[in-house]
Structure 1
Amino acid sequence: MIFWSVVFAIGAAQAALLAMALWRRPVNAAGNRMLAGWIALIGFDLAVKALYFRDPGPELIRLYHFVGLFPFLYGSLFYVYVRTLTRGCGFGRGDWVHLLGFVVALLPNLGTFVQDAAGDRALYLHIRNGGAWPGGAWLDVFLFAYSLSYVVAGLVCVRRYRRALLQRRSDADRMSLHWIDAMAVSQIVIWCIALTQFLFDIPWIDYPLIYGAVSAWVFVVGYLSLAQAPVAALEDPEAPDEAPPPAAIAAADDPRFPAVEAKLSQLMSSERLYREPALTIAQLARRSGYPEYLVSAVINRRFEGNYCDYINRQRVEAARACLADGDDARTILDIAYDCGFTSKSTFNAAFKRQLGLTPSAYRQQRAAGSASQRG
């Protein structure tokens, strides 16, 4: 048990440091403060377990049992964190409803938390001899289903955010919350370990392993959360207040479509707006002189794709021309940045999707073709 006590203590120390760093981090401030509170709660949980596993006894049994109910909070806090991150708003009064699962878990255990020292000793001996904790097996089943449903709800929230972001920003990929996927998968792995421990009697899959995985998860969260890029809230302050007329949305075409299409083409070919890495559809609409909803409709109907696809096609075409130019000695990454891309991975993926080749393979192919023509 001393080994696990050390593991939990390390996890608790890491959680405390991470919570302080996240609380002070200016990027995604509302979401990071929500995450800091959640991580601090996990750190307290791990600290109590470190003390209990170092020296088990009836003195800590109530506190140990109390933090054992914290997982009822973790799934719902993950969802509230994701929602806060994508909407840019803090914890509100309506969010208290997401803590009801923890309240439900407390109810059958109230007697344990107010018992006297003799009750603590009796509970400790009961647990040490292999007895079950108060609440029964139904509480474990409810805990698993309740928390997992919130993790899934958080992932659905991320999916909706990504879909909306692709319609509004040209640099959506680098802000698409990939670290949230990793955090969610890590939690699901922990819950699977807990479910396996609950259903099967496998010697090395036990309760300490579950919280050993939680300690490891804190390190994963630390690495991912401190490296996160700024997240654009869905309620983008740059979005115009003008609401699209229902008739304009319902119509198969608007009489202004050809003019908007021509203007967009002119902005891309002459002014090369696609080179602006953080170009939003609101900014493009302002430059075009047309309402955002109309620009969006033209892109979706006339250019066959969402806003992000449309801008990236312009960027890929510009990069293709540069790569085909034998006199252009710049690196592929320099060309990608100059054309408006913000990362090598995004550029490579967009280029291969559009042309069927990686940028380096395309440049080599064009260079070989030019050499054979000269020969």
Structure 2
Amino acid sequence: MTRALVDYTFWTFVYTAGAVQAALLAMTLWRRPANRAANHLLAVWVALSGVDLAVKALYWHLLSPEWFRAYRFVALFPFLYGSLFYLYVRALVEERKFQPRDLVHLAGFAVMLVFNAYVLLGSHARLQSMSARWIAGERAIGAWFDGPLFLYSLSYVVAALVRVRSYRRQLREYRSDADRLSLRWIDAMAGFQVAIWSVAIVQSVVYLPILNYGLLFGLVAAWVCMVGWFSLGQPPVVSKPEAASVPDERDAAAATDTARFAEVEGRLAQLMSGEAPLYLEPALTIGQVAKRSGYPEYLVSAVINRRLGGSFCDYVNRLRVEAVRAYLVDADESRTILDLAYACGFTSKSTFNAAFKRQVGDTPSNYRRQHAAAAIT
């Protein structure tokens, strides 16, 4: 048995395992109630990846010209992956189902299907010749579309990340636990796709034994496992941040209602002080604060932005940082810094550290150490 066939045998097992994993994951995602519209799209995406891996496993196991047609067909599936990623992200942040007009995002796949018709509709003799050249290691067949694939798919990944960034910005304006809901797994999914396409581009331009098609689609199999890890643990996504858009007439009312700003500010100070200040609630939203204050949400938002400075998230985190500082200078306080941060309403270590450094100009640990040294002297 040649070395090439040994390699094919190894990757056949990897691909088969990935295809089975993809089938199970797709069924699970389709039935998952959280983020239903988005998970339906993700299920289709994962299922296509599974079909892609299964066909490659069969072809590499049989090395049959009859399967080469199917092999070249699924080779076009990556032209769907970038657009499906974009549609998945859009469904997450907007709770928007797939519509007939969204078929335009599948145009790249349709165009490449036409360009590859000479392979898909070729005679048996032609397929046999192409298959033999492919098995022998000639990668010129279809390699020309690796560049367009990378650029086309990358544009969709960038568009998806732009939507995520906009979503995060809106979320920070209205939720103090925005970091927990900010779709960090999307960054990992995007990075994994870019890595896969980068390997594809390198192996099509220069021959490197380690960067072969086996490794490339081995990464696809690993990607399926990664998607399973992240997607099945997703919390329900806040698809429309509360009060993300406020009617124009309310904006106008807030602008002319400055006479009430002082009383609203006083009410907020009352809610954020005392034995059980409101900022201690980790998932606090501006809607909840407005409800407790008894004032309209647009008015509370206007007071925070114009009188107290910054967004709602900035305002709440400032209060939390001040509460943590009070604990850090207390010599009798034995809890860890992270425990104190959580006790004061933070839900993320990174968010706490960034807010503390921005407000105090020092790290929490150094701040505590300096005050402990000052107390001894």
TM-score range with shorter-chain normalisation? 0.7 to 0.9
What residue is the counterpart of 1:261 in the other structure?
265
* TM-score, with length taken from structure 2: 0.87
The yes-or-no answer on 1:224 pairing with 2:214 is no
What residue is the counterpart of 1:323 in the other structure?
328
**3-state SS, counterpart of residue 230 of structure 1:** coil
Matched letter for residue 261 of structure 2: F
Q: 1:293 aligns with which of 292, 298, 316?
A: 298
What residue is the counterpart of 1:27 in the other structure?
34
Q: Distance in 2 between matches of 1:361 and 1:50?
A: 56
Structure 1 residue runs of 5 or longer lacking an equivalent are none
What per-residue deviation string (whole Å, max 9, x for no partner) do you get for residues 4-51 of structure 1?
Answer: 222222322332333233334333333223212211211111111112
Q: Distance in 2 between matches of 1:110 and 1:317?
A: 66
Q: Distance in 1 between matches of 2:346 and 2:35?
A: 22
Matched letter for residue 210 of structure 2: W
Q: CA deviation at 1:77?
A: 0.5
Cα 1:191/1:244, change in 2 over 3 Å: same
Tell me which moved more, 73-82 or 91-100. Answer: 91-100
What per-residue deviation string (whole Å, max 9, x for no partner) do you get for residues 295-337 of structure 1?
Answer: 2232223222221111111111112222333344444444323
What residue is the counterpart of 2:288 in the other structure?
283
Q: Distance in 2 between matches of 1:53 and 1:156?
A: 39
Matched letter for residue 75 of structure 1: G
What residue is the counterpart of 1:125 in the other structure?
132
What residue is the counterpart of 2:4 in the other structure?
none
CA RMSD of aligned residues (A): 2.7
Matched letter for residue 264 of structure 2: V
**3-state SS, counterpart of residue 116 of structure 2:** helix
- Are 1:240 and 1:282, in contact at CA under 8 Å, matched by a contact in 2? no
Q: Distance in 2 between matches of 1:158 and 1:240?
A: 14
Q: Distance in 1 between matches of 2:376 and 2:31?
A: 57
Q: Distance in 2 between matches of 1:359 and 1:229?
A: 29
Q: Distance in 2 between matches of 1:244 and 1:348?
A: 36
What residue is the counterpart of 2:219 in the other structure?
213
Tell me which moved more, 125-134 or 195-204. Answer: 125-134
What per-residue deviation string (whole Å, max 9, x for no partner) do you get for residues 335-373 of structure 1?
Answer: 32332122334333322332234434433433333333x
Cα 1:230/1:349, change in 2 over 3 Å: farther
- Are 1:30 and 1:85, in contact at CA under 8 Å, matched by a contact in 2? yes
What per-residue deviation string (whole Å, max 9, x for no partner) do you get for residues 148-179 of structure 1?
Answer: 10011111011000001011111001111111
What residue is the counterpart of 1:48 in the other structure?
55
**In the TM superposition, what are the counterparts of 1:140-289 in structure 2 within 5 Å?**
140-234=146-240, 236=242, 239=243, 243-245=247-249, 248=252, 251=255, 254-270=258-274, 272-289=277-294
Cα 1:19/1:305, change in 2 over 3 Å: same
**3-state SS, counterpart of residue 258 of structure 2:** coil
Q: CA deviation at 1:221?
A: 2.2
Q: Distance in 2 between matches of 1:240 and 1:59?
A: 55
Q: CA deviation at 1:249?
A: 8.1
- Are 1:27 and 1:230, in contact at CA under 8 Å, matched by a contact in 2? yes
Matched letter for residue 265 of structure 2: E
Cα 1:55/1:222, change in 2 over 3 Å: same
What residue is the counterpart of 2:361 in the other structure?
356
Cα 1:52/1:352, change in 2 over 3 Å: same
Cα 1:194/1:250, change in 2 over 3 Å: farther
Q: CA deviation at 1:250?
A: 9.6
Q: Distance in 2 between matches of 1:199 and 1:242?
A: 52
- Are 1:35 and 1:81, in contact at CA under 8 Å, matched by a contact in 2? yes
**In the TM superposition, what are the counterparts of 1:9-158 in structure 2 within 5 Å?**
9-128=16-135, 130=138, 132-133=140-141, 137=144, 139-158=145-164
- Are 1:87 and 1:233, in contact at CA under 8 Å, matched by a contact in 2? yes
- Are 2:250 and 2:298, in contact at CA under 8 Å, matched by a contact in 1? no
Q: Distance in 1 between matches of 2:257 and 2:361?
A: 32
* TM-score, with length taken from structure 1: 0.88
Q: Distance in 2 between matches of 1:240 and 1:109?
A: 45
Q: Distance in 1 between matches of 2:271 and 2:248?
A: 23
What per-residue deviation string (whole Å, max 9, x for no partner) do you get for residues 57-96 of structure 1?
Answer: 2021111011000000000011011111112233223322
Q: Distance in 2 between matches of 1:232 and 1:16?
A: 28
- Are 1:87 and 1:235, in contact at CA under 8 Å, matched by a contact in 2? no
The yes-or-no answer on 1:8 pairing with 2:15 is yes
Structure 2 residue runs of 5 or longer lacking an equivalent are 1-7
Q: After the TM superposition, list the runs of 4 or more consecutive aligned residues in structure 1 that deviate by more than 4 angstroms.
A: 239-242, 249-253
Q: Distance in 2 between matches of 1:65 and 1:349?
A: 49
